[in-house]
Chain A
């Protein structure tokens, strides 16, 4: 397979509108002055090179932001969304757009992103040979305090640019952003919409309608996916957004389902019936929690049945000199329904913990990413525990990553580079990493970044969250990948997997409606898996009905009412 990252990304917007994207009329990028001689080359190639992605993105954005006829939000601001996939050059576009707008208006541009990403933006500025004149960088975390001061000092900005605009899912960030004294808003994100609410927020910014109006249009649509695609088509055709993305650099293996034993079906039925009995006895509050617990119990039970197969598959891949990323859940369960022989609740280890034990029994050491405590990202009093786990996870990740690293005196990790400034290859300590879905985001170094390194295979188990699934997939296919990633989805025909696959499919369909080409193979895979699972279930039900019919016929034969008439006194009819 050819490396898709060696070509310009797919122009999703052009495909969506049948090529009807408005052309930019002014080359704003040309006005950005080149820096010192040695850095001119990069900026010049972005202006005139074979790949027009960055130039088009900047010019389309500025055309819209300066268009006096463009729709405005409630605060009278114009807005533009750059919905470009990972590796398409969003950061370059963000700082070049900031520079160009500041030059055009004579007012500074405000650029905000999470605090840990600001140094990278500043490095990009340096790579382009540009200084930060006309740009004010503010960490999104500090935006509230900054806006308060800016208002006091009566400062104004030509534009508020937010990189990683998916952070607008926090109402707090939307609030701060809307209070920045700027007449324009420019959003950059590889994944701006995870759900309808986030979709409505951006659409409302881009078409000037109120959020609840957009929501009601979407809710009243007969086909949600068609409506979403339509809304995006209209906004794109009107010049409100642009979307470019790379296809998947990987090979998705065909759908294949593990067999489910009769014992598994019986255990699932026992669980469902048991929870049904519990729910009948409890109030609304407990009911709501039990609903969640049933989901977890069924999922953990279903995943526990996959440990041996995934172990075998992992050992096979290792014998083929592959590195393996296994992504799944790790939710241990003490059953509310099923009991051990001693009467205690039946305990089942989380899938990844079970697999770790199985690998260890085979003498295979792996890197293990531990799940954070629930809600520890939000609750300040849990942050200490979270930080400790994060530090351990970082060490585990480092053992799986290829390449040479050293630490400075403060313990910071640096990549060792050769005389050509290329990363130096060194094989990783572990060849397997177990990654919980909850922690699938981040980790930019797990892919195959060295041509001489072993290939990467990903084994994924079903999850209901399409967002987490796509985050996990993104660990393998990245801009700097030197080889394609093999993807395997391991599912079975259990109730739990049918439910998760159907949720996953719905989520992937939502993402696909927003036009992401990398999702397509997984959409097909999830649909095929679900079809097989449903067909297996139907066949199982048919078999069950046949067996029941046979049993009923046999019982009817055994009990022939004519042969044993009921005496009148015991017939149940009182005189």
Chain B
């Protein structure tokens, strides 16, 4: 039987930064470092004038979602450009690695997955202690812990591309960190921490689809 302190320690998940294979670096192939460019060009100032009348807490929430969407769009663009590149360079030595990378598009899902999080979260808050509601809320908490650890790790590894990719996380904690974690995990699937992130999401959507399909507008 676990003691009170053991129970409160929380679940153990994979924290190792080991790599199962080489990470694809698309910059030399495309002649442009998409991520570096995107992160440098990100404009944190709100686009909508109307947002400036909102309380700071709400502005932060919307800013978090904006960052999630921006990271999502950047990965989508990388996929798109690599798809064009592979058509034009079928015999390049990096073709196999790019092909394998492009297969991850199947897991990528639609952009509106990000907007869907609020609906799931509010439903879960309303329907506690329903088992699925607990899973949805627990999923977010687990992702918060993971994202925090990943950000801490990234600050200690400023040269690692896996860390550079999450530079924007410093400016936005992410209200639904599962969004940005999914994008990071798909991009760096070779990282030992990535598969669990996708597995949590797969299991979550499977359960929701089985029990409350009405909650899911889009699927992966």
Chain A residues with a Cβ under 8 A of chain B: 114, 140-142, 144-148, 167, 170-176, 179, 211-212, 215-216, 272-273, 275-276, 279-280, 283-295, 334, 336, 373-375, 377-383, 495, 499
B59 & A145 in contact (Cβ 8 Å cutoff)? no
| A contacts with B: majority SS | helix
Provide the bound-state CA to CA distance between A285 and B205, in Å: 13
Considering residues A172, A215, A295, which has the most beta carbons from chain B within 10 angstroms of its beta carbon?
A172
* Size band of the interface chain B makes with A: 35 or more
Which residues of A sit under 8 angstroms from B52, Cβ to Cβ?
141-142, 144-146
- Closest Cβ–Cβ distance, residue B106 to chain A (whole Å): 23
- Closest Cβ–Cβ distance, residue A107 to chain B (whole Å): 22
Q: Which of B1-25 contact A (CB under 8 A)?
A: 1-4, 7-8, 10-11, 13
* B200 interface contact, C-beta 8 A: yes
Considering residues B13, B142, B204, which has the most beta carbons from chain A within 10 angstroms of its beta carbon?
B142
Which residues of A sit under 8 angstroms from B56, Cβ to Cβ?
114, 140-141, 167, 170, 172-173
Q: A141-B52, A147-B45, A290-B134 are in contact. Are A378 and B175 (CB under 8 A)?
A: yes
Q: A167-B56, A276-B7 are in contact. Are A289 and B137 (CB under 8 A)?
A: yes
* B211 interface contact, C-beta 8 A: no
- Closest Cβ–Cβ distance, residue B6 to chain A (whole Å): 8
* B58 interface contact, C-beta 8 A: yes
Which single residue of chain B is at the shortest CB-CB distance from A382? B122
Which single residue of chain A is at the shortest CB-CB distance from B137? A289
With beta carbons under 8 angstroms apart, the residue of A176, A216, A287, A334 that contacts B11 is A287
* B173 interface contact, C-beta 8 A: yes
Q: A147-B45, A288-B145 are in contact. Are A381 and B118 (CB under 8 A)?
A: yes
With beta carbons under 8 angstroms apart, the residue of A293, A374, A379 that contacts B129 is A293
* B62 interface contact, C-beta 8 A: yes
Return 9 A-B CB contacts under 8 Å, by A number: A114-B56, A141-B54, A141-B55, A171-B60, A172-B59, A172-B171, A212-B156, A286-B134, A336-B129
Which residues of B sit under 8 angstroms from A334, Cβ to Cβ?
129
With beta carbons under 8 angstroms apart, the residue of A174, A215, A285, A294 that contacts B142 is A285
Considering residues A140, A144, A174, A285, which has the most beta carbons from chain B within 10 angstroms of its beta carbon?
A285
Which residues of B sit under 8 angstroms from A373, Cβ to Cβ?
125
With beta carbons under 8 angstroms apart, the residue of A279, A380, A381, A383 that contacts B7 is A279
* B159 interface contact, C-beta 8 A: no
Provide the bound-state CA to CA distance between A212 and B1, in Å: 39
* B26 interface contact, C-beta 8 A: no
A212 & B155 in contact (Cβ 8 Å cutoff)? yes
